[in-house]
Amino acid sequence: MKDILIKEFKFLLDDYGFKFAEEQFEGLIVVYNNERLSVEFTKDRSDFFVSVKAKEGNKEYEDIYEILTKMKKSRMISEVYSPNNRMNLAKKVLRKHISKIQEYFENDLA
């Protein structure tokens, strides 16, 4: 899965400084970090999940759609997203909102 993620989420590496951090369960879980965030990608059969946490601190990973719901409630974003377990939507959401997600964690709104 690591090679697929490098291709599909290349913007995270090129534009936001993410780097490969670790792989678990024979590549079914892959983690990328930048200075601020850890992003965990999980593949479970045909399902695909993205979770995020602040790189520093003791917090657990939080599902990307839970984060987006909280961001909507705090008016950081205007869109409403329903949970979806497909890679293409996760890619669109991260591409559009990764800067706001970083801001969300920097402001300790998580």
> Using 50, 70 and 90 to split pLDDT, how confident is the model at 57?
confident
> Using 50, 70 and 90 to split pLDDT, how confident is the model at 61?
very high
Query: Mean pLDDT score of the chain, rounded to an integer?
Result: 91
Long-range contact pairs involving 53-57 (C-beta distance under 8 Å, separation at least 24): 53/105, 53/110, 54/105, 54/110
Structure confidence at residue 109 (pLDDT): 56
pLDDT one-digit tens code per residue, 21-42: 999 998 899 999 999 999 999 9
Long-range contact pairs involving 11-18 (C-beta distance under 8 Å, separation at least 24): 11/94, 11/95, 12/39, 12/94, 12/98, 16/98, 16/102
Q: Is the pTM of this model over 0.85?
A: yes
Distance CA 55, CA 89 (A): 24
Positive or negative CA dihedral for 10, 27, 102, 74?
A: positive
